[in-house]
Amino acid sequence: MSLLLSTILTLCVLGVLSAVILYVVARKFKVYEDPRIDEAEAMLPGANCGGCGFPGCRGLAGALVKEDDISALFCPVGGAGVMTAVAVYLGKAAPEREPQVAVVRCGGSCGNRPRTNTFDGASSCAVMSSLYAGDTACSHGCLGKGDCVVVCNFDAIFVNPETGLPEVDEERCTACGACVKACPKGVIELRRKGPKGRRVFVSCISKDKGAISRKACNVSCIACTKCQKVCAFEAITIENSLAYIDSNKCKLCRKCAPECPTRAIREVNFPPRLVRVAESEAKVGTKAEVVDVEPENK
Amino acid sequence: MSKTFKIGGIHPSDSKLSRGAAIEVFGLPQTVTIPVAQHIGAPAVTCVAKGDQVKTGQVIATAAGFVSSNIHSSVSGVVTSVDDVPDAGGMRRKAVTIQVEGDQWAEGIDRSDKLMSSVTLSAKEIVEKITAAGIVGMGGATFPTHVKLSIPPGKKAECLIINGVECEPYLTSDHRVMLERSEELLVGVQILCKALGVEKAYIGIEKNKPDAIAHLKGLVSKYPGVEVVPLKVQYPQGGEKQLIDAVVGRQVPSGALPIEVGAVVQNVGTALAVYEAVQKNKPLIERVVTVTGKSVKTPANYLVRIGTPIEALIERSGGVPDDCEKIVNGGPMMGRALSNPTAPVTKGTSGILLMRTKEARRPAATTCISCAKCVAVCPMGLEPYLIYKLACKTMLAEAEEHRATDCIECGSCSYACPAALPLLDRIRLAKAGVMKIARERAIKQK
């Protein structure tokens, strides 16, 4: 009986002693962490994609709490809604950033850009571009092996088997920029999403001279400067035989797109061009019609 | 037991189909395209313009810095363009295109066959001549030779090793040079010895070239200090570090250059070019190229002017066979598939291999079964499977710890892998990534 009693007593004393030690140690070595970090982290999407520039959501939450001016911090996944909520909670001015989306700047589909050889190495754009120019005559465009698809955390990009080019699901794309970093050719760019998702951009990054890039691909920019001449807002610059539309200056007037002889300028999410189509049809028409029309005009 | 290197190595079939074909002078093509970047280091700066008349052996681009090399015209004629043209991999790089007119040589070049065996110049003059002649390592790495001959202060060269191993299957250009240009080669070796201030030179030759071994052994008695070392056949014995291990039994430490162990390695092709540059004033404007393949009509060794289109060589050997699936620039182990057959022969083109479908197709990759065959064959003592996995996950810091930059890209791991994993493809990527972060770190530290 006494053995039983002494055992229980010893255990109890040991338990209490350990509790006291643990309590003292926990108090002594306690690291204070702002409880707001936990709260802010809970508000963030929790995707840990790294799109904000921090390793994960907690990193951004820590920075949001620590910095007084949070205008340089932004979560592209959560967007303005989440950022406002966090800013209100922290009592700071909410950072503003226009929503962006990933844009694939290459139109060299299987039909537009004939394959000149077959690549049989590891199925990776990075490996392919480390070895040679690619399986087409264009050494700048998309390689189509889908490194961008592998890195996307949101299932927002996929390679269309018909065209061999990646396509972005705008609903899902959070503009985290993972695909931009993964692309060895620099084909993908983050651009302003634009009002109602409307955007105009040059879907080509070939820096080859016009004649060379045109030979390699039907829809390459040949730097003919027609788009630049028609643009009233000076949004188009041409450098290294390549046109680029500045999304901050572009007013979405869409005058440039029909001018492009290779149709390298793409316009997305616009309603169909009713008037324009009618005009261009009249222009294209058959040769006889055009001859008929012209004398009347004179 | 004959000499060889001690770590790893594989034994692919040597398939030297053109070993019996004597070197054939290819003759002049109609046009040549001479890239300004045919070497490791800064691309040379062009000093001719469209419309200029050039002579054979005239400088058309000058070295841009110490680790760079002069480029000479390999023909006489008119410069038709100085523009970007697609190289063997389809990338557009700057090159000088020359329309051939006659064959007028620049002054001072001795074109006679007479052997000039007395070496009268000083070490400094020799290196100057080699620099001017634009000689680079002709085994394929194309590292400027004058840089290798300029021993850094505090180091001392003890021996010269001449690489006559030619461990790449199929290729026979060095083999033929050793047989047909042996006297010139040996004078070249003596010149290199003098330039380095060393007494001892070894010529390492694998035992699958018994005729070359016997031939050179018979000649070396006339050349004091030169010794022929027969080596056991094993790939990649032609790798610099492997060859030093095989011949003199010294191991070059990780990340160090061969001079650390007192050795300088030069290819037999380079030694021949050195002879021609120093004794005959002839710059590097031509080289021996093997054109070979199981279904090639006449596998051959051609003496080709630099800049000749590769397709012309293939045409001379009977054209592209019907069952050819892949054209490889170089040998089957380290060569790269050629996506543009109009690309020119450069200083580093040792051979053109036309592979049949059977040999060219890469089997579908499966999964790593951790058999460690790659570890067993790696001549650098690396763990290829591990670096491969790190590369797939872009874990570059860890790849650096596992010495990814020590990889010599010999391809033994990919050859040995039973799962047919593209090990080298990924390791090469990791190597490039690690080198990039190392460079960035070096800039930061400054």
Could you read off the pLDDT of B151-182 as tens digits, one per residue? Answer: 998 899 999 999 999 999 999 999 999 999 99
CB contacts, 8 Å: B432 with chain A: 130
Q: Provide φ and ψ at B261, rounded to 5°.
A: -105, 15
DSSP β-ladder status, A157-160 and A165-168: antiparallel
CB atoms within 10 A of CB B66: 12
Residues of B in contact with A147 (CB under 8 A): none
Domain end point (choices A90, A123, A155): A90
Question: Any idea which residue has 């872009």 for tokens?
Answer: B394
Q: In 3D, which of A103, A102, A85, A105 has the Cα closest to residue A94?
A: A85
Mean pLDDT confidence for B35-46: 94
Looking at this protein, which amino acid is placed at residue B413? C
**Domain B15-27+115-361 bears CATH identifier 3.40.50.11540:** yes
pLDDT of residue A57: 92
Question: Which of helix, strand or coil describes residue B295?
Answer: coil
Is B420 within 8 Å of chain A by CB? Answer: no
Look at residue B47 and give its three-state secondary structure. coil
Is the domain of A107 the same as that of A237? yes
Binned at pLDDT 50, 70 and 90, residue B1 comes out as low
Chains A–B, number of C-beta pairs less than 8 Å apart: 51
Chain A residues lying within 8 Å of B89, measured CB to CB: 131-133
Contact A238, A228 (CB under 8 A): yes
Q: Answer yes or no: do A232 and A156 share one domain.
A: yes
Task: Give A131's contacts in chain B (Cβ within 8 Å).
Answer: 89, 336-337, 425
Interface of B with A in 65-124 (CB under 8 A): 86, 88-92
Q: What is the pLDDT of residue B202?
A: 96
| pLDDT recorded at residue A120 | 86
What is the predicted pLDDT for the residue at B432? 93
Regarding whether A204 and A110 lie in a shared domain, the answer is yes
Burial of A118 (0-12, 13-18, 19+ CB in 10 A): exposed
For residues A208 and A240, membership in a common domain is answered with: yes
Looking at the complex, report in whole angstroms how far the Cα of residue A114 sits from the nearest Cα belonging to chain B.
Answer: 14
**Residue A260, domain member (yes or no):** yes
Full residue range of the structural domain in which residue A67 is found: 35-90
CA atoms B327, B329, B330, B334: torsion sign: negative
Helices (H) and strands (E) in chain B, counts: 14, 17
pLDDT tens digits, one per residue of B269-319: 999 999 999 999 999 999 999 999 999 999 999 999 999 999 999 999 999
| Residues of chain B positioned with their CB less than 8 A from the CB of A137 | 90
Residue pair B190/B200 in contact by the 8 Å Cβ criterion: no
What average pLDDT does the segment B96-117 reach?
91
8 Å CB contact of B339 and A208: no
Instruction: Look at B426 and A127 and tell me if their CB atoms are within 8 Å.
Output: yes
**Arithmetic mean of pLDDT over chain B:** 94
Searching chain A, which residue's CA lies closest to the CA of residue B432?
A: A130
Distance from CA of B126 to the nearest CA of A (A): 37
In a mutational test of the B interface, the residue from A119, A139, A213 whose CB has the highest number of chain B CBs within 10 Å is A139
Structure tokens at A2: 């006494």
The least confident of A218-222, B189-193, B360-364 is B360-364
User: Are residue A270 and residue A182 in the same domain, yes or no?
Assistant: yes
Shortest Cα–Cα distance, B321 to chain A (Å): 17
Question: Which pLDDT score, from 0 to 100, does residue A284 have?
Answer: 46
| Segment B418-435, tens digit of pLDDT | 999 999 999 999 999 999
Is the domain of A84 the same as that of A167?
no
Query: Which residues of chain B neighbour A113 with C-beta distances below 8 Å?
Result: none
Please give the model's pTM, rounded to 2 decimal places. Answer: 0.86
> Are residues A86 and A210 part of one domain?
no
Domain count, chain A: 2
10 Å Cβ neighbour count for A8? 10
Q: What is the dihedral of CA A55, B431, B359, B416, to 10 degrees?
A: -90
* Alpha carbon distance B68, A41 (integer Å): 54
Residue A68's CATH number? 1.10.15
Which residue spans of chain B are classified as CATH 3.40.50.11540? Answer: 15-27+115-361
Instruction: Provide the pLDDT for residue A6.
Output: 94
Cβ–Cβ below 8 Å for A208 and B92 = yes
In angstroms, the separation between the Cα of residue A210 and the nearest Cα of chain B is 14
Q: Whole-angstrom Cα distance, residue B161 to residue B145?
A: 14
Same domain, A174 and A254: yes
Instruction: Check residue B440 and give its pLDDT.
Output: 93
Q: What is the DSSP string of chain A?
A: -HHHHHHHHHHHHHHHHHHHHHHHHHHHTPPP--HHHHHHHHHS------TTSSSSHHHHHHHHHH-S--TT---TTTHHHHHHHHHHHHTSPPP----EEEEE-----TTTS-B-S---S-S-HHHHHHHSS-SBS-SSS---S-HHHHH-SSS-EEEETTTTEEEE-TTT-----HHHHH-TT--EEEEE--GGG-EEEE-----S-HHHHHHH-TT------HHHHH-SS--EEEETTEEEE-TTT------HHHH-TT--EEEESPPP-HHHHHHHHHHHS-HHHHHHHHHHH-
Minimal Cα distance from A147: which residue of B?
A: B392
pLDDT band of residue B219 (cuts 50, 70, 90) is: very high
**Chain B nearest C-alpha distance from A252 (Å):** 35
Q: Which residue has the tokens 């052997």?
A: B115
Residues of chain A with pLDDT under 50: 277-278, 282-298
Q: How confident is the model at residue B60 (pLDDT cuts 50, 70, 90)?
A: very high
State the Cα–Cα distance between residues A136 and A128, nearest whole angstrom: 12
Give residue A55's pLDDT. 87
CA-based nearest distance B368→chain A, Å: 14
Q: Is B425 helix (H, G, I), strand (E, B) or coil?
A: helix
Whether residue A33 contacts residue A9, with contact meaning beta carbons closer than 8 Å, is answered with no
Contacts of B428 in chain A (CB under 8 A): 127, 130
Q: Are residues A83 and A106 in the same domain?
A: no
Q: Which chain B residue has the Cα nearest residue A132?
A: B89
What is the interface pTM, i.e. ipTM, of the complex? Answer: 0.88
Q: CB neighbours of B45 closer than 8 A, spacing ≥ 6? A: B36, B61, B62, B64
Q: Does B169 touch chain A (CB under 8 A)?
A: no
Q: How far is A124 from chain B (nearest CA, A)?
A: 9
Q: Does residue A25 belong to any structural domain of this protein?
A: no
**CB pair distance less than 8 Å for B91 and A116:** no
Is residue A160, in this structure, part of any structural domain at all? Answer: yes
Map residue B346 onto helix, strand or coil. Answer: coil
Mark yes or no for CB contact A139/B422 under 8 Å.
no
Q: Among B425, B431, B435, B436, pick the best mutation site for testing chain A contact (most A Cβ within 10 A).
A: B425
Check: CB of residue A148 under 8 Å from CB of residue A166: yes
| Cα B364 from Cα B355, distance rounded (Å) | 18
Residues A76 and A118 in one domain: no
In whole angstroms, what is the distance from residue B135 CA to residue B117 CA?
A: 20
Cβ-Cβ contacts under 8 Å, B365 against chain A: 122
- Percentages helix, strand, coil for chain B (3-state, rounded to 5) are 30, 20, 45
What residue in B sits closest to A209 (Cα-Cα)?
B84
**B291, B324 in Cβ contact below 8 A?**
no
What's the mean pLDDT in B6-16? 93
Residues in A closer than 8 angstroms to B337, CB to CB, are 117, 131-132
Q: Which residues contact A161 (CB under 8 A, 6 or more apart)?
A: none
Residue located via tokens 């571009």: A129
Whether A114 and A217 share a structural domain: yes
Measured between CA atoms, how close is B255 to chain A, in angstroms? Answer: 22
Instruction: Please answer yes or no on whether A127 and B422 come within 8 Å at the CB atom.
Output: yes
